Every structure is written in structure tokens, then in C-alpha cells.
Structure 1
Amino acid sequence: MATVGYPNLDSYTQNTLALEFPEPGPASVGMQQNEKKCRWTRLKRVMGQSLTSRSTSSVKSLKPLSPISETDSAIYSIRAGPSSVTEDAQTTTWEDSEYDKQLNEAVSGLKNDFVSGAREMADSALSSLSSLIVVAAAAALNRDELWNMTISAAKELSSARPSMNAAITSCLLGALDDLSKLWDSLDKKRNKPPDELAAMASRQMVRTLEKRKEAGMRLSENFAERLRAYCSQRLNNTHTLTILTLSNSSTIRASILTTLSTLRFLHLILLVLESRPRFEGASMASQILSATSAEARGRLKIHILPDCAVATVAKDAQLVLLGADRISASGDVSNKIGSLAAAVCIKTLNPKAQVVVVSDADKIVAKGVEEGEKETHPASEMLEGWGDETRRDLAARIVDGSVEVFGEWFEWVPAEYVDGYVTENGTLDTSGVEKVAEEIGELREKIFG
């Protein structure tokens, strides 16, 4: 299926977008109003419970959804009256609906994605929301019902991974704000059918993804320009820069690749901590090398190091490059375990070095929601790196409780250790971060309430 209206996209992108954003077809001729009412009846009975049932944990930044009462029916244009729908049909389980099936799959996908970075997960959540709007349109009687189903899905997607929900939530909030404005402009009489509104939403989501891609390119270019200025001021014409980094951030990968292609005078030594227990740092090193041109590869040297070597190598680095899964309104940064050690070591052992965070601005959260819930992973992730005999012996002791294995993945780096936040909108200081946090808070209140 081609993505009509976007002729400038290459065929691969068109096909990808077509799969992610299928054009909704017209409702079947046999769909009667009472059948749609039945589907919405099943939806409203569980909408207030669905967030809790699908999430393994709650997030303080989200208000719990309230059950939709019979008195709310007027708001959603649900009218009581004679119906030919049987009680058996009305009590069909929620789990049988296509909407719920797709929502469960999307939430589960986010919960179990330990490979993608926060930015990639936000894009995935946006794609899922677009598909869910299309499915919801078949059950909704009008625009208000479709909007409320959309908001409910967005809240569940944003709470699927509490430790990484900053980017997901901000991405969805921005997309929904744009969608609301689009519907207001093209449906002033508020009488367009849900399937037409869903088609508008699909096209709008495509545009949103395109804008996010452009924003990612600007961020990488901004980082390259910051390095250009840094090199002219500090490298004394040596043209060799040593950067220490860790984990596997799509933003860091793109920033390194853009730097190599833009600053052709620069020779880059990249010190990458392997980032246990899943060794994302090693994966990032491999991906960077695979995407680097032959010319740039001649100016790039990568050293993969055990996490415990961070103090040893920090004294040789001129820059610590961190991604971010969450940035508080005061500028503290939540990132993969090992980030704080890298920042503290380099500031202690090499005070002239800088700690730079590269991140989309949508990782910044509003005041009051800084602390995401701790994400703890199973002991098996660490056990996989041990010898067979040790693993067998300690696995039994873990089961009986005599041994505990640390499983937290994320930690906070205080703002005092950060020299700058490179975003798609330029480099921010802590006052700039606070301003973005205020804007995000206002948008959250507007969309989620």
C-alpha cells in the first residue's frame, strides 16, 4: 500500500509507513448503530480498569483513569433505549476486541524492548497509537468517543515502561496536540464520521514522524557544531578527540556518525564501556562501525572496555558523552547504570573535561514527575555472564534468598556534573531545561488532564 500524498519519500520508507499507518477502510455496510453501541458499551465498562490491568506498575506522573459511569453517557453521546443487542453480546469479554488485542501487543512490546533507546520506543508508541485510532474508529459513534479512546490508549502506552516514559509521553502529547488542532480546523461542525477522522490522524502521524526524523538530524548537526567549537578552542591543532561513552543510544550513534561525516579533519578515539549486563555498549560500537564510511573509519578508533575500567580511562578522555532516558526540570539526568561513575570519575580525575548530554528535548519532564519508577531486571541477566559452575551454585542460593543480585538499570546524574544539554533546539543550560519542563507540564495538563 503506497502512502498517498508523500511522493518525495523513497519506496522503502513509503512501504514502511504504509505498514505502520494503514489507511482505514469504510465501515462495513452491515454495521448498525446498535452494534457500535454494543462495542462501546464493552469499552466503557473496562476503560477505567485497563490501565491498571495492563501495567505491572504505576507511574506517579499519570492520573488514574476513572471508570465511565452511566451518567457520563451524555458526554460520550451514548443514549439509553431499545436495542436488539442481546445481553450475551453486550457481555462479550473485552479481550475479544481487536482494539484491546492491538493495545495489549503494543504495551507488551514496549515493556519487553530492552534493545531500543527511548527515542526509538517513542516512535514505536506513536506508530501503535496511529493504528489503534483506526481500530477505535470502528467502535466510536462520534468524535468525542474516538478522542477519549485515543487518550486512553495514549496513557497506557506512555506508562508501559515507567523508567523510559518521558520520551514516549512527550512524543504522544505533542502528536495529540497537533491532531486536536487538525480536527478543530477540518471538522468545525464536529460532524465528521470517526473513520474520516482516523484517516486524518493517520496522515498527521506520518507528518509527525517525518518531523521527528528532521529533529533528530538537527540534534546530530548541533552536536557536531558544538564539537567544532570545542576543537578550535581546546585541541591546539592536534585534531584528535577522545570521547568516553556507554550504553546504546540511537541519538549518540547518529551524533557520532554526523560528526565524522561533517568534521573531516577530526580523528576520533571512542572509549565505549561494554555496559553490562546486556552489553549494549558493545552493540553500539558494532553498529557505529557498520554505518561508518571507509574514509571515516580511517579516522575512528574504538576501544571497548569493561565497566570497571571507567576510572582508568576517564583520565584520558576529554569528553563524556551521555544519552538520557529522562531529564528532570532541574537538569538531573537519568541514564543507564554506569553514567554517574563516568561523570564523577572524569570530573575528579580530569577536571578540564566536559560531560555533555545529547538528548531530544522530549526527554525533559515536568516538575513533580521527575522520579520514574525504578526498573529492576531479573538476576538471570547477570548470571548469563558467569561460568557454569558458579552459575549453578549461586542460582540455587538466589532462589533460597541467601544471595541477592543487583538488577537496577538506571541511575541519576546530578545536574552539577553536566556541562550542557545538546538538543534539536540547540544547547541548553539548566534554565533552558526548566523552561522546556514548564511547557511540557502545561501540555500534559491540556491533553491528559
Structure 2
Amino acid sequence: MTTQITKRAVVSCFLFRFTPDHPTPSVALFKRSDKVRTYPNHYAPISGSIDPTDSTPLQTAYREIQEETTLTPPTITLYRTGQPFTFSDASIAREWTIHPFAFILKKGGEASINIDWEHERWEWFDPVRIMTDQDLNTVPRLKDSLGRVYFEATMNEKAGRALAMGLDRLRCDRESGARELLRIALGVFRDFIVFCESLGDDLNPNSATTSTNIKDKDKEWEKILEASYHIIKNGRETMSASIQSTLLSILSEMTSTHLHPSTLLSLLDAHIHRPNTIKPAFNSYTTTSFPQTTTTNKSNTLTILTTSSSSTIRDCILSLHAEVQSLELRILESRPLFEGTTLASSLLSSLKSSPHKNHTKIKIYTDASAAQACQGVDMVLLGADLISATKGVSNKTGSLPLVLCARHVSPGAKVVVLSEIEKVNALNEIVDDEVVERNHPLEVMSAWRSDGVKGVKVLEDGMGSESDGVSVEVENVYFEWVPLHMVDAFVCQEGVLGVDGIVNRSRVLGGLAQRFFG
């Protein structure tokens, strides 16, 4: 009689503690009680099944942590997401699909841990001990789960440190645009390759000729794929679409040719220093769509409205300046970090030194006056941090109200997204469309403080607590979606891209993502 195998998807959540006096973190393991159905008396991370009602595995992770430890989101920070994997345990007739996560326990959070009936105790462990101690009684494949979120325990020290420091840099960068982050990410990947001392002379995983070589090649390739996954997923995911697209292209090239490490470094350098090639396409689109504003026809001013700060938009506007006789640039200030103000300053400095003396006026508007800023505009120009075939264009919060205002106030205005084609996300993506990047409320409140707004202290005192059933939160979400049907043109380095082009590219990238990370 054949035993029916039950399939179950679960999260595996590791809690990490970082202290100034220890070079490596500690990780918490929980000893399962004898009341649980599977693996009693084994050490394990916080785990639990993904319910059909859970929107994402990450939501499951937060729920399970709260249920089993009473820790809530304010006491923990998502550290890394590991690549899921599947294995079977014939002893209990289960096929497990594991979604590993790592969280950092914030200072003072340890006192808030209260375990439930599923565990009899918990302890801090050195992650290296977990990976090497053969006598530690753990649930099956725990080492694989831990290794997928703490690669430092499986790589040589220099390569692991370079990758970890690179991820921290990407994660903490709140100033660079997607184009700059791509350069940083490729630099991190380059450093990782340099420090991978065991890489052979040919990085193509398909070029091995003997069983020994095949085994070595597999190990090399696994390291490269692991680093690629972490750079895409655990840097700054909401802005990682171009990183994903570029790394998938590089991985594809590595499998199609004999690639020496030095050749790979040259390939990476070429991507890092690649010039902006989107300017001709934008100039062509603009002069074709608004021929009355070009230097050959001096009767009209081209009025463009934009928000936030984008190096691509900045470069393209400076290039367009030479093509039109009169230009009016309207820019929303883009709270809370006022990137729009920074963009206006940069444009002004560059235009003053431009050899082209065509008339240009810059106007800065508050975010709340978007409807006024839309009066009489010819073009609403948006950048993109990610373009999804299903959700639309992800850009700085404030972009959707801006488009809606333009549709109402100036229905003839063109809504144009200016973006490298690499920002199209892969179908069945590694980069999750549903991720919401919430940032520190102090970024919003700092302007209130500096302006002496009344009542700020009352709001600050009310945050993080509930008194008489009343609580207060200050939301600081960086990005929002503009649906594809609200965009008139997607201008990239290949020209004007339609929705069908976006969908097709997304499918191709999805196939590559499945091939390398499926």
C-alpha cells in the first residue's frame, strides 16, 4: 500500500541578536515540546504553515512569531529572506516547502519573548555551531534553512563579509535612485567574485568534463547564484527590478560562453559604467508629440510636470533643453525627503552653465498643490522604480494623485513614464510586487519639528502606545502604483514601449528567473 504524501508550505523564522561586543550574531532556537505533532523535543526556529488566507509568506512569518513568542513588528526587523526549497521526509509522509526568513531582535526585545505550549525552552546559539555540531538535535534540514539566510556560515570569510556589507549598504541607502543602486549592486557582486578564492578558470557551469570538475562547478555555480539571489532580494527589494534584470542577463551570458573570472569582472565593469542611452528616445518622442515647441517653431512653451528625483529624468531634461525653444519645468517638492527640491536645484545649476540659452523657467510646488501644478501642463513625466505587468508603475508616493489630478485638470496632458527597460519586473518574480516599504516616521516628523508645528510633542508621546483606546501612527510609505492604463507612453532606451512589450519582457525575465532560481 502506497502512503499518501502530504504537501505543506511553511515558514522558518530565525531571530538574530547583534551585540557590539561580539563579531558574529547569535541566533535563537526553540526546543519543541512533546505536545507538538511533528519533531517533538527537537530544536527549531519559529515555524508554521502558510494559510490560504495569508497574503504572503512574510505575513505568515510575522503571525507565527507573534503567536509563538508574543513579539510584534515593532520589536523585530526583517533582516533577510532566504530562497525557498522543498524536501521530503518519508518518516512522516510529508513534503515540506520551506520559506526561510531572518529577523533582527531589537534592543530590549529579548525581555518580551514569551513562548507558548509548542516550545519548552529557547536558547541563543552561535550560527557556526548550528552548522557544524553533528550532535545538536534539530528538525530536518535546519542547516539548509539557516544557511539560506546567514550565508556567512557557508562562504569564505572575505566573500561573506563583502556580500553582507554590500547588502547593508543597499538596504540603508535612501538617497540613490534605481540607476545608482544598480551600479552599487553590481559593485557588490564584483567584490564577491573577487573574494571567491575557489572559483575556477571557467565560470560556465555547463563546461565541466569530469565528475570531479562537475562537482566543483556545481559548488562554484551555487555560490554565484546564492550571491545573486541575496543582492536581488535582500538589498532594497522595492528598487531591485533593474538589479534583477541585469543579473539575470549576466547569469545567462555566463551559461552560454566560456567565461574566465577576469572576463566576468570586465563584463560587470561595462554594466557599472554604462552610459545613459535613453536621452535620444525621449527627445524623439517629445519633439514628435509636441512639434510646436521645438526650436524651429518658437510659438509655444513646453510645460513638463514631475516629482521626486531621478537621474534619468534629470539627464533627459537637460538633453531636451537644447531641442525646445521655451521650457517650463514644474516640480513637486516630494516630501518627506524633498527630493523634488533637490532635483530643481541640480537642474538649475546645470542649466545656468549650459551653452544653450533657450528660455527655461523652474517652478516648485508643494505636494498638496498638485492640482494647481497640473493647470495647462503638456506632460506629466514620471520615473519608475519598478514596472509590473500586473500592477503598473511603482514610483514615489504622490505619483498617483499627480496623474489623477492631471486627468481631471488637464485631460489633454500626456502621462509619460521614462525608465530603462531593465526596470520591468519578471513574471513569477523574485522581487515581490506586494512588498511595501515603510520607513521611519521621524523623516515625516522632522519637518514638523523644524517648523515648530504645535502639538508635535503630544503626537510623539502618543506613538507606540495606546491610552484610553486611542493610539497614533505616522505613516511613511515611499512608493505607490500607477496603473498601466493611466500611462500614455513608456519611453525606454529602445523607444516607446507598449503594454504588450512590457508583458512580453516580463515573461522572458520570468523564464530566466525560473531557470536560475526556480
The answer to whether the 8 A contact 2:245-2:423 is kept is yes
Alignment of 1:125-164 (within 5 A): 125-138=185-198, 142-159=216-233, 160-164=235-239
Distance, in Å, in 1 between the alignment partners of 2:156 and 2:248 is: 28
Instruction: Give the match for residue 202 of structure 1.
Output: 265
Give the % identical residues: 31
> Hey, which bits of structure 1, 4+ residues long, moved more than 6 A?
89-92
Report the 3-state secondary structure (helix = DSSP H, G, I; strand = E; otherwise coil) of the residue aligned with 1:384.
helix
How many angstroms does 1:58 deviate by? 6.9
Note if contact 2:292-2:300 (Cα within 8 Å) is conserved in structure 1.
no
1:106 equivalent in alignment to 2:175: no
- Of structures 1 and 2, the one scoring higher in RCO (CA 8 A, sep 6+) is 1
Confirm or deny: 8 A CA contact 1:332 1:414 kept in the other structure: yes
Read off the aligned partner of 1:230 and give its amino acid letter. Answer: S
Is residue 333–residue 364 contact of structure 2 (8 Å, CA) maintained in 1?
yes
Aligned equivalents of 1:399 and 1:448: distance in 2?
A: 39
Pairs within 5 Å for 1:167-206: 167-182=242-257, 185=258, 197-206=260-269
Provide the rounded CA distance (Å) in 2 between the counterparts of 1:57 and 1:412. Answer: 25
- Tell me the secondary structure at the aligned position of residue 255 of structure 1: helix
Quote the offset at 1:278 in angstroms: 0.5
Higher-Rg structure is 2
TM (normalized to structure 1)? Answer: 0.73
CA contact (8 A) 2:427 2:509 kept: no
2:476 to 389, 407, 411: 407
Aligned-pair CA distance for 1:152: 0.5
Instruction: Indicate the SS of the match to 1:377.
Output: coil
Q: Is the 1:133–1:146 Cα contact (8 Å) retained in structure 2?
A: no
Amino acid at match of 2:311: S
Which residue in the other structure is 1:115 paired with? 175
Specify the alignment match of 1:273 in structure 2: 332
Shift of 1:95: 9.0
CA positional deviation for 1:439:
1.5
- Alignment of 1:440 with 2:509, yes or no, is yes
Distance 1:179 1:341 in 2: 43
Contact 1:134–1:199 (Cα < 8 Å) also in 2: no
The equivalent residue for 2:496 is 427
* Correspondence list, 1:3-402, <5 A: 56=78, 63-64=83-84, 97-138=157-198, 142-159=216-233, 160-182=235-257, 185=258, 197-210=260-273, 212-213=274-275, 216-217=276-277, 219-232=278-291, 237-261=298-322, 263=323, 265-292=324-351, 293-296=353-356, 299-330=359-390, 332-369=392-429, 371-387=433-449, 388=452, 390-401=455-466, 402=471
Deviation at 1:107? 0.5
Which is strand-richer, 1 or 2?
2
Contact 1:129 1:154 in 2 (8 A): yes
C-alpha distance in 2, partners of 1:96/1:399?
A: 41
State the one-letter code of the partner of 2:262.
A
1:233 and 1:419 map into 2 onto residues whose CA distance is 19
Q: For the structure 1 residues 337 and 315, does the alpha-carbon distance in structure 2 shift closer, same or farther, using more than 3 Å as the test?
A: same
TM-superposed deviation, 1:252: 0.7
Alpha carbons 2:182, 2:243 under 8 Å: kept: yes
Tell me whether 131-140 or 106-115 shows the greater mean CA deviation.
Answer: 131-140
Q: Secondary structure at the match of 2:218?
A: helix
Matched with 2:54 is none
> Does the 8 Å CA contact 1:175/1:208 hold for their aligned counterparts?
no
Q: Do the aligned residues in 2 keep the contact of 1:137 with 1:146 (CA within 8 Å)?
A: no
Between the aligned partners of 2:463 and 2:308, the Cα distance in structure 1 is 27
Deviation at 1:275, TM superposition (A): 0.4
Q: 1:271 to 1:65 in 2, by over 3 A?
A: farther
With normalisation by structure 2, the TM-score equals 0.64
Show CA shifts across 1:119-175 (max 9, x none): 211121111101101112347894332221111011111112221121111121112
Cα distance, 1:63 vs structure 2:
4.4
Which amino acid is 2:444 matched to?
M
Residue ranges of structure 1 left out of the alignment (5+ in a row)? 1-51, 68-86, 187-196
For 1:60-94, what per-residue CA distance to the aligned partner results, in whole angstroms no more than 9, with x for missing partners? xx842579xxxxxxxxxxxxxxxxxxx9x978966
Distance in 2 between residues matched to 1:309 and 1:378, nearest whole Å: 25
What amino acid sits opposite 2:486 in the alignment?
Y
Unaligned runs of 5+ in 2: 1-57, 59-76, 88-128, 134-151, 201-214
Report which stretch shifted further, 93-102 or 402-411.
Answer: 93-102
Contact 2:384 2:417 in 1 (8 A): yes
Q: Take 1:100 and 1:165, find their aligned partners in 2: how far apart are those partners? A: 21
Change (3 A) 1:161 1:297: farther
* Aligned residues: CA RMSD: 3.1
Counterpart residue type for residue 375 of structure 2? K
Contact 2:156/2:196 (<8 A) preserved: no
Contact 2:341 2:364 (C-alpha < 8 Å) held by counterparts: yes
- The structural deviation recorded for 1:57 is 6.4
Deviating more after overlay: 131-140 vs 379-388: 131-140
